[in-house]
Amino acid sequence: MTIEAPLDVASALATCTIGQIVLLDCATLWLSNVLLADQDIAAASASLLAALAICPAHVIVVSNEVGHGIVPDNALARQFRNAQGRLNQLLAAQADLVVQVTAGLPQTLKGEARQLT
């Protein structure tokens, strides 16, 4: 089942049940939507993190690392890059497992991979 929630991911997560596996693809696009909708990024991020914390399903969050390149030349791009970095840090702090994939090679940054039952 696919649920499209360009801004209100928290409501979509609230419909999940125990035993489900949810792929949130992706936090970067969601944040971009929040920024372009001129919403409060900190409040929206806090709402997302709270929803993830109480979601009974196993949630896999895909996100992009946007801070490894050059500093963007415009204010909106710099705001986005900084906000994405903060969101990634908050997601990683709350997650049990953090895996960075570069060139198809996974590197576990936090936790241990385990079988989902």
Q: Is residue 15 part of a domain?
A: yes
The closest alpha carbon to 10, from 64, 62, 72, 54, belongs to 54
pLDDT one-digit tens code per residue, 50-94: 999 999 999 999 999 998 888 999 999 999 999 999 999 999 999
List the CATH number of the domain containing 28: 3.40.50.300
Total domains in the fold of the chain = 1
Q: Is residue 116 part of a domain?
A: no
Write out the residue range of the structural domain in which residue 79 sits.
9-110
**Any residues with CB less than 8 A from the CB of 59 and at least 6 apart, and which?**
13, 16, 22, 24, 52
pLDDT interval class at 3 (50, 70, 90): confident
pLDDT one-digit tens code per residue, 8-37: 999 999 999 999 999 999 999 999 999 999
pLDDT of 117 strictly over 60: no
First CA to last CA across the chain, in angstroms? 19
- Is residue 66 within 8 A of residue 80, CB to CB? The reply is yes
